[in-house]
Amino acid sequence: MVVEAESEGREVRIEQVRELQRSLSLSPYQAPYRVALLRNLQDATPSAQNALLKTLEEAPAKVILLVTAASPESLLPTIVSRCEVMRLRPLPLETVAVYLHARMGLPEPQARLLAHLSGGRPGYALRLHDDPAALERRQGLLEAVPDLLKRTRRGRFAYIDLLMRERDKQRQMMRLALETWSSFWRDVLLVVSQAQAPLTNLDRAGEIQAIAGRVDLATAHRLVSRIDDALQNLDRNANVRLLGEVLLLDWPYLQ
């Protein structure tokens, strides 16, 4: 069984954990074990995490539980104490690019871009390749950055209006925008600080270099921090439209 949030930006609910527990109480029918994968458990509500504690501590016989999370710190300490922690680190970017090109048949430029966008995670790189719509949304959000830096306050508010046009997807779209813009401004910060780390958005290197030449280190660092704060506030159910407007007001005006 796979237990995860129903969609991006949603939470793993206690009802899902209870359904898992009912399933795990049954003996395996064919295979020697029942295996449950709880993906991104940091997205689970505190009540859902607490409901899982007894199952983790006294798992039924012939049951294997796999829990994934962004970091141990993102889970309740009582969850972590009942697990054996295995850190899954990303692969070197070049290794992923070679794999995508040689084994999966992707053109070399696309393989390099996906390797960088995925941060060395081959599974995520393949998911991006299989979802052209996601790449198009990313492209649109990145193309908007240089234009937004030239816009007045009214123009920036108008962009947020456009981003929020689908009422039932506002939180999802804002999360995608924040994560995409975070990767862009982190690239700017890398260039401004003359760091040797590779850029994430290779296809936007020219724009990143141009903007990095017009902002100082303190500004680049502040913009990255503001987006990190916005993501945390989004998780705390802040008003989505207001969050986006306040964020864009903090961006510099570069004519």
125 and 139 assigned to the same domain: no
Contact of 177 with 163, CB cutoff 8 Å:
yes
Q: Classify residue 111: in a domain, yes or no.
A: yes
Which CATH number characterizes residue 65's domain? 3.40.50.300
Q: Classify residue 216: in a domain, yes or no.
A: yes
51 and 113 assigned to the same domain: no
Contact of 138 with 173, CB cutoff 8 Å:
no
140 and 125 assigned to the same domain: no
* CA 196/CA 193 separation, integer angstroms: 9
168 and 213 assigned to the same domain: yes
The half-sphere exposure of 95 on its side-chain side, counting CA atoms within 13 A, is: 7
* CA 179/CA 201 separation, integer angstroms: 12
239 and 155 assigned to the same domain: yes
Domain total in the chain? 3
Q: Classify residue 97: in a domain, yes or no.
A: yes
pLDDT by residue (tens digit) across 132-144?
998 999 999 999 9
pLDDT of residue 89: 87
Q: Which domain holds residue 144?
A: 135-249
- 238: DSSP letter: -
175 and 242 assigned to the same domain: yes
Q: Classify residue 196: in a domain, yes or no.
A: yes
159 and 214 assigned to the same domain: yes
pLDDT by residue (tens digit) across 171-190?
989 999 999 999 999 999 99
245 and 159 assigned to the same domain: yes
pLDDT by residue (tens digit) across 34-77?
999 999 998 888 899 999 998 898 888 889 999 999 888 888 89
